[in-house]
Amino acid sequence: RTSVHRLTSGQVVVDLQTAVKELVENALDAGATSVDITFRDSGVEAIEVKDNGKGIDEGDWEGIALKHHTSKLASFADLAAVQTLGFRGEALSSLCGVATLSMVTSTAATAPKGTTLSFTSAGACVPQKKVARERGTTVKVERLFEHLPVRRKELVKNAQRELGKALALLQAYALVNTGVRFEARNVTKGKTLVQLKTTASTSLRTAFSYIFSPKDLPSLLDLDLTIEVPTEKSVMKRLEDAADESTVIHVKGLISKPSTGHGRTAGNRQFFFINGRPFQPAKARRLRVAKAVNEVYKSFNANQFPCVVADFQLAPDAYDVNVSPDKRTIFLHSEGNLLAALKQELSRFFDPQQA
Ligand code: ADP
Ligand code: MG
């Protein structure tokens, strides 16, 4: 039983980045305005995510790390319109299977007191002791993949690269969640290195300037596109209520002015989102969108790449995040049509004279 649990858990939490992603999404779902991420020994020893969200009520402790326990989805019908980042109730359960999970949590009713909770590998909760804690939750994941020797070895060997991937994802969350303060640090051999620090701000521009150089800001345009994407017939048939033959998508964010290229280095400053949910870096689907944007940009500024932050705002039934256990794959209906329409509108955005 336990080993089966460990194997299936390994499909939800596949690496350091997905572990961090699940913890940060939970903090955001809890309404946090401040999220502190601490990597110990680049995450190899532990990852801690501390938030000031609503905390977890005592009545929920028992269930939270059990498989498919979620407080976020009341019924199956909610799935199409899910607003929270999590909804499958698999992350904590999986983390128990692949690491040692513990928490401190406190709610408005209990603050300034909280309780430490530890969990068995099967997800059973063991309340420990009362401690001082303001409202919020700190989740600690120790020795990721400790019982999966091959994965563990990979993690240890590639610790720096894995940390880099996790930090890139945190940059994405920090950009798109402008109202939330983020801080990430790595503690190695007693030395603390701050890796990312933002303050809750009101604009994407400000958030961008916390993460990247403020000197870049004047060279960025506010991206604001409205694109109409014809819906493919096959998709129409599957969506019972699809009365419209097209979907309207807003694309909002920032993009380099065509006159100011950023060479190849801009590649690590390209962030794409669907309704505030980051596309995973280096994933095929994300790359197709990036490729479309880069192609258009290059037609105005040869051999240069833009910085880009783009959130695709679309109806929940126009995409599907529920296709893989780790929610990495976001499936866009009518993707070909979307990319074509995107290219056209982006060209027009850069050159309004264009018909
Ligand atoms: P999901 O996010 O899909 O609901 P998870 O396994 O990630 O499933 O979390 C299980 C439940 O634990 C959540 O539904 C939520 O009620 C609770 N939870 C987890 N992390 C936090 C947090 N940081 N603050 C408050 N509640 C949390
Ligand atoms: Mg979750």
Q: Which helix (H) or strand (E) holds 352?
A: none
Task: State the Cα–Cα distance between residues 241 and 282, nearest whole angstrom.
Answer: 34
Instruction: Pull the structure tokens for residue 14.
Output: 């596949």
- Ligand 1 atom with least separation from CA of 51: 23
- Cβ contact 250:225 at 8 Å: yes
Q: Is 99 in the pocket of ligand 1 (CB under 6 A)?
A: no
Task: Look at residue 89 and tell me whether its pLDDT is greater than 80.
Answer: no
The contacts of residue 289 (CB under 8 Å, 6+ apart) are: 272, 279, 310, 312, 339, 342
Please give the residue that has the higher pLDDT: either 155 or 239: 155
Task: Look at residue 82 and tell me whether its pLDDT is greater than 60.
Answer: no
What is the reported pLDDT for 236? 46
| Chain segment 19-51, per-residue pLDDT in tens | 999 999 999 999 999 999 999 999 999 999 999
Q: Is 84 exposed, middle or buried (0-12, 13-18, 19+ CB in 10 A)?
A: middle
Task: State the Cα–Cα distance between residues 93 and 64, nearest whole angstrom.
Answer: 8
pLDDT over 90, % of the chain: 59
- Structurally, at CATH architecture level, domain 2-197 sits in 2-Layer Sandwich (3.30)
| Predicted complex ipTM | 0.99
Q: Comparing 3-7, 54-58, 93-97, 176-180, which segment has the lowest mean pLDDT?
A: 3-7
What is the reported pLDDT for 265? 60
Per-residue confidence band for 304, with pLDDT thresholds at 50, 70 and 90: confident
Q: How far is the CA of 18 from the centre of ligand 2 (A)?
A: 11
Cβ neighbours around 126 below 10 Å, total: 11
By most ligand atoms within 8 Å of CB, the mutation choice from 9, 64, 98 for ligand 1 is 64
Q: Is 114 in the pocket of ligand 1 (CB under 6 A)?
A: no
Task: State the Cα–Cα distance between residues 167 and 185, nearest whole angstrom.
Answer: 10
Task: Look at residue 101 and tell me whether its pLDDT is greater than 50.
Answer: yes
Cβ neighbours around 246 below 10 Å, total: 13
Task: State the Cα–Cα distance between residues 166 and 177, nearest whole angstrom.
Answer: 16
The residue ranges of every structural domain in the chain are 2-197, 213-350
Nearest to 131 by CA among 103, 155, 170: 103
| Chain segment 210-226, per-residue pLDDT in tens | 998 888 888 899 999 99
Q: Is 119 in the pocket of ligand 1 (CB under 6 A)?
A: no
Per-residue confidence band for 1, with pLDDT thresholds at 50, 70 and 90: very low
Q: Comparing 66-70, 232-236, 250-254, 291-295, which segment has the lowest mean pLDDT?
A: 232-236
Task: State the Cα–Cα distance between residues 246 and 229, nearest whole angstrom.
Answer: 5
Instruction: Tell me how far apart the terminal alpha carbons of the chain are, to the nearest angstrom.
Output: 63
Task: Answer whether CATH 3.30.230.10 is correct for domain 213-350.
Answer: yes
How far is C-alpha 215 from the geometric centre of its chain's CA atoms?
Answer: 26
If you compute the radius of gyration of the chain from its CA atoms, what whole number of angstroms results? 21
Per-residue confidence band for 292, with pLDDT thresholds at 50, 70 and 90: very high
Q: Is 95 in the pocket of ligand 1 (CB under 6 A)?
A: no
As beta bridge partners, residue 248 has 228
Q: Comparing 75-79, 130-134, 294-298, 313-317, which segment has the lowest mean pLDDT?
A: 75-79
